[in-house]
Amino acid sequence: MNKKVALVTGGSTGIGAAITKQLAIDGFHVVITGRTEKTLKQSATQHKNISYIVADVSKPTDVQKAIKNVKDTHGRLDILINNAGIAPSLPFEQVTLEHFDTIYNTNVRGLVDITVNAIPLLKASKGNIVNISSVAGDKPLPGISIYSSTKGAINTLTKVLAKELAPYGIRVNAVSPGPIETPIFDKMGMTKEEIDHMANAISQTVPLKRFGSAEEVAGVVSYLASDKASYVTGSQYYVDGGYGA
């Protein structure tokens, strides 16, 4: 019951899986969520201190189930990593309200819902929150307008929550990755040719001339979640090879 506990939404693949492994190495028990049991199970094999709950962050009953599980099983929550996100692409003139709702329900409404539900546990632990945003929130790309705007919303929420929750000793920060090699690109609704073309074009515009790895994002998240960052709140850390500079 004494081990510190981290909850990582979308901890099954990509950046979330790397954060999960790093936080487990850092000594946390890590609870991960996602919609797909198979990938959650795989991610949980990364370290003995990882457990999973099948939970869709856009469904309020699933969010409550996840928080209840953390409370009943571990009795505490020290770190909330709001990482779950989707990035379907669509030219703006083809955007439907369904497309809008799907992205916002996961990236923004889900983040708000799980954060509100986690606050009582975070108050008790004087814990902290790391929101996984994106450089697209500040430097949006054509074709991912709705996704980019969800990340702008996350940046604003990070700053206001840092101020609102500071009196309780809760820190709130954001990490904004640039292009990171993860399965997210296969889920954008683009052909492999389009993805390769976009990846090449993006790499050329990154000062470090390459995609980053999920582990490179996890290292910064690990720092922000730790006591080493005890005077850091309301910040947005870029892990983007200089892309947004």
The residues of the shown chain that bind ligand NDP, judged by CB under 6 A, are 9-10, 12-16, 33-36, 39, 56-58, 83-87, 106, 110, 132, 134, 177, 179-180, 182-184, 187
- The catalytically annotated residue of 52, 104, 147, 238 is 147
CB of 243 to ligand NDP, least distance (A): 10
CB nearer to ligand NDP: give 34 or 127.
34
Whose tokens are 């947004």? That residue is: 244
CB nearer to ligand NDP: give 2 or 204.
204
Max intra-chain CA distance, the chain:
52
Cβ neighbors of 234 (< 8 A, separation 6 or more) are 158, 159, 162, 163, 172, 173
CB of 21 to ligand NDP, least distance (A): 13
Q: Please state, as a whole number, how many other Cβ atoms lie within 10 Å of the Cβ of residue 8.
A: 33
CB nearer to ligand NDP: give 57 or 119.
57
CB of 46 to ligand NDP, least distance (A): 13
Annotation marks residue 238 as catalytic: no
CB nearer to ligand NDP: give 58 or 128.
58
CB nearer to ligand NDP: give 86 or 124.
86
CB of 206 to ligand NDP, least distance (A): 11
CB of 79 to ligand NDP, least distance (A): 16
**Beta carbons of 5 and 76 less than 8 angstroms apart:** yes
**Which residues are tagged catalytic?**
147
